[in-house]
Each structure stands twice: as C-alpha cells, then as structure tokens.
Structure 1
Amino acid sequence: MNGTRLRPATFKYIESELYAYPDYQREINKIRDEIINGQEEQDENIGAGKNSYRKPGRPTERTVTRLDDNKRMNHLKEMVHVVEQVYDRLDDTQKKMIQLRYWSKRGANWEYIAEECFISRRTAFNYRKEIVGAIASKLGMN
C-alpha cells in the first residue's frame, strides 16, 4: 500500500464491496441476460413508409454495444476481477478469514474469526488492513 493510509470512507467502501462480492457474478449474468434477451428498441415512427429513414438492422452490433456501454456491469466486472486477483495471492489463513468475515457468516466478530483461523485478533486486523489496501491499490484509490 506504499505507506499511505486509506481514508476511513474508502476503507468502508471497499469492505462493502467485499461483502457484496458473492452476489456480483449473479448480478452480472442478470444484467447480461436483460440486455441480450430484453426488449428490442421500439420504432417510434409509426407512420414509416418505404422511403422513411430507419436505423440499419444490426441487432448483434447493438447488443454488443449495449453490453460494453453498461456502466453498472463494467463496475461489477472490474470489482470481481480485482477481488479475485487479490484473493488468489492470499495464503490459506487469509482466504479463510475473508470467507468467514465477508462471504459466509456476515457479521462474524473478529474474535471468532481469529479463533477459527488460529491467529490473534491483532493479526486478523492487520490482514484485513493489508487486503483492503491491496484492493484499493489495484483500483487506484490510495
């Protein structure tokens, strides 16, 4: 984390993203399905005749463009990618800590987590700070 401290609001934001991470892949799939299988753009020109202007019929191109331009889906994909990158570099104890705190027993207290991971409470807090800092660094938030 290059010796810089995260602002408390940034720290809480990244923790909230960690809590929400398990739901992100499902939400990405839902958004993708809505875009791909959703309503086609309605032609508002009800009096269109043979010579009137219409958009070229390129439904695949429009779908790909909508997928690429969807800000929410792009944000979710970036968060999934960054969290997975950081998570993959953690040791087994840190992975277990993340799973207990953020992904399985939401709200599990630090004493319980430290006991389950066979580490001290202070070490758990240090791991937490390092992990959140690594995510912030990858997101350019430090």
Structure 2
Amino acid sequence: MQELQITKSTFKKVEAEWFNYHKTLKEIKLLEDSILHPFEEDPDDPTIVKGTNSVRMPGNPTERTATRLTTHKQLSYLREVTSAIETVYNESPDNYKDLIRLRYWKRNNKLTWIGIAFQLNISERQARRWRNEIVQATIEILGWR
C-alpha cells in the first residue's frame, strides 16, 4: 500500500494539536459543561442566568442533551483529535513518550532539538525522526492528508 504524501500544513496542524492537547481537553470539558448545564447563573453576576434567552422546548430534555453531546461538530472534532493523540501516545514506546513530554507537554518548554536529544541521550536527527513518526501515526489515525 502506498503512503499518502503529507502536506506541510497538515504536519504543522497535527504538531499544533500535540502542543495544545491539554488545552483541548479543557475546551472539551467546557463544551460538555455548557451542553449539560445550559441554564446556570453567571458567577460574576448572579442576576444573569445563562441560556434563558433560548426557547424552552417541550419533550425529553435528557434526550436533547444526549443528542447535543453527540452531534456537536466542534466537540466531535476535538474528541477525535484527542483520541488520536491518546492512541499514538499509549501505543508508543517509552522513549517516544519521553520525547512527547519534552517536546509538546513540558511547561515553558525552551528546549531546542539539540536539548531534547541531549536529554534523551540520542542524536538530534534521531529525535526529529521520532517526531516525524509520531506525527505520521497521528495523521494516519485521523485520516488527514
């Protein structure tokens, strides 16, 4: 089977998703909370109740909430991306996981590729190869090109 040629923009997008993984998890939680609890008071102004401008629909509210949770496009997209990242991370060898933590998830990451390679006791070229494999695996799971 012939591998698809990955575009430069797709590579950058997937890498950006790895960098933003933890922010994306928070965004998913916020979206889920806004769907599950659409009529909550604003903590800054208790006289304002969020969601009161919308028309109250008769019927089954649990069913409507479940439908919104499963059909919300942005939520579905974010879940798909985080699921792909989690799959690649969980199936990666420990040394790749170390690279992921250093490259993408370390707070205030100021490490260059040379610094990452030094920490992992490998060459800079090897570190970049591992990165390419991680991004490639994520792209394949997502079905992007």
TM-score (norm 2): 0.82
1:128 aligns with 2:140: no
Structure in which a larger fraction of residues adopt strand: 2
Cα displacement (A) at 1:37:
0.7
- Correspondence 1:60-71 to 2 at 5 A: 60-71=62-73
Query: What is the aligned partner in structure 1 of residue 42 from structure 2?
Result: none
Query: What is the aligned partner in structure 1 of residue 45 from structure 2?
Result: none
- Correspondence 1:32-43 to 2 at 5 A: 32-39=32-39, 42-43=54-55
Unaligned ranges ≥5, structure 1: 45-54
- For 1:74-102, what per-residue CA distance to the aligned partner results, in whole angstroms no more than 9, with x for missing partners? 11111111111111111111111111111
Query: What is the aligned partner in structure 1 of residue 18 from structure 2?
Result: 18
Query: What is the aligned partner in structure 1 of residue 120 from structure 2?
Result: 117
Cα displacement (A) at 1:124:
0.5
Q: Which has the larger radius of gyration?
A: 1
Change (3 A) 1:116 1:9: same
Q: How many residues align?
A: 132
Query: What is the aligned partner in structure 2 of residue 47 from structure 1?
Result: none
User: What is the alpha-carbon distance in structure 2 between the residues aligned to residue 38 and residue 27 of structure 1?
Assistant: 16
SS at match of 1:78: helix
Cα displacement (A) at 1:3:
4.2
Report the AA paired with residue 29 of structure 1. Answer: K
Higher relative contact order (Cα pairs below 8 Å, separated by 6+ residues): 1
Report the AA paired with residue 127 of structure 1. Answer: W
Query: What is the aligned partner in structure 2 of residue 7 from structure 1?
Result: 7
Does structure 2 retain, via aligned residues, the 8 Å contact 1:101–1:107? no
In the TM superposition, structure 1's runs of 4+ consecutive aligned residues that sit over 2 Å from their partners are: 1-5, 39-44, 105-108
User: What is the alpha-carbon distance in structure 2 between the residues aligned to residue 128 and residue 21 of structure 1?
Assistant: 16
- Root-mean-square deviation (CA, aligned residues, Å) is 2.0
User: What is the alpha-carbon distance in structure 2 between the residues aligned to residue 11 and residue 26 of structure 1?
Assistant: 23
Does structure 2 retain, via aligned residues, the 8 Å contact 1:28–1:77? yes
Unaligned ranges ≥5, structure 2: 40-50
Report the AA paired with residue 78 of structure 1. Answer: E
Which residue of 93, 96, 107 maps to 2:95? 93
Query: What is the aligned partner in structure 2 of residue 56 from structure 1?
Result: 58
User: What is the alpha-carbon distance in structure 1 between the residues aligned to residue 101 and residue 95 of structure 2?
Assistant: 10
